[in-house]
């Protein structure tokens, strides 16, 4: 069985993230979408909330071979424990590549059996990031074109201060 991990902060999950998840799920028998715990980051959503948003979004897409999981510690160690041979990373721009390439080389050094596969973001999502969604929402803008409709209200409630 070909097993891959797609890690990310997903704070919040965007249509760009979902596009990579859908495409990677067609390539691999099973895809783990990994949400890392990082106490140094000040996230808008807890790890558990991000995992639930991802579950709702992937279920709405009918993705039966996608698992949502928390990643504690190093990604290279997590992948080894789970038996994953590939890390999937989405790339929007050349600037993404430099950082992701450095991470890929580090993961390879830590786990020589682990490969990294880069998927180019679809053209319609090249500009899209969680940070952009948070900024637009913070100013009361419409984020519906940027996030899955099944989780739009939850994201708006948090980011637009409607709780």
Residue range 143-153, pLDDT digits in tens? 999 999 999 99
pLDDT band at 162 (very low <50, low <70, confident <90, very high): low
Identify whether the C-beta of residue 57 lies closer than 8 Å to the C-beta of residue 25. no
Q: Judge whether 25 and 63 are in contact, CB under 8 Å.
A: yes
> Number of structural domains, the chain?
1
The pLDDT assigned to 14 comes to 97
Token output for 12: 């919040």
Write the CATH number for 23. 3.40.50.620
For the segment 99-114, the average pLDDT, to the nearest whole number, is 96
| Res 142 pLDDT > 80 | yes
Task: Supply the pLDDT for residue 40.
Answer: 75
User: Which of the residues are catalytic?
Assistant: 17, 41, 92, 130
Please report which confidence band the pLDDT of residue 119 belongs to, taking 50, 70 and 90 as the band edges. very high
Indicate the pTM of the whole model: 0.94
CA dihedral angle for residue 38, residue 58, residue 129, residue 11, rounded to 10 degrees: -30
pLDDT of amino acid 163: 44
For residue 91, the enclosing domain spans: 3-159
- Using alpha carbons, list the distances in angstroms from residue 140 to 11, 15, 77, 125: 18, 19, 40, 21
Q: 3-class SS at 38?
A: coil
* pLDDT > 90: percent of the chain: 88
């Amino acid at each position: 069985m070909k097993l891959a991990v797609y890690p990310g902060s997903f704070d919040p999950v965007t249509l760009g993230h979902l596009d990579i998840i859908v495409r990677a799920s067609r390539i691999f028998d099973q895809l783990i979408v990994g949400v890392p715990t990082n106490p140094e980051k000040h996230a808008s959503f807890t790890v558990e909330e991000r995992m639930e948003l991802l579950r709702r979004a992937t279920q709405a897409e009918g993705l039966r071979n996608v698992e949502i999981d928390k990643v504690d510690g190093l990604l290279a160690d997590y992948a080894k424990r789970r038996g994953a041979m590939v890390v999937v990373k989405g790339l929007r721009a050349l600037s993404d590549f430099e950082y992701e390439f450095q991470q890929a080389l580090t993961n390879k050094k830590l786990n020589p059996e682990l490969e990294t596969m880069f998927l180019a973001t679809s053209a319609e999502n090249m500009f899209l990031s969680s940070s952009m969604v948070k900024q637009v929402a913070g100013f009361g803008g419409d984020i519906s074109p940027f996030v899955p409709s099944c989780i739009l209200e939850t994201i708006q409630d948090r980011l637009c201060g409607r709780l």
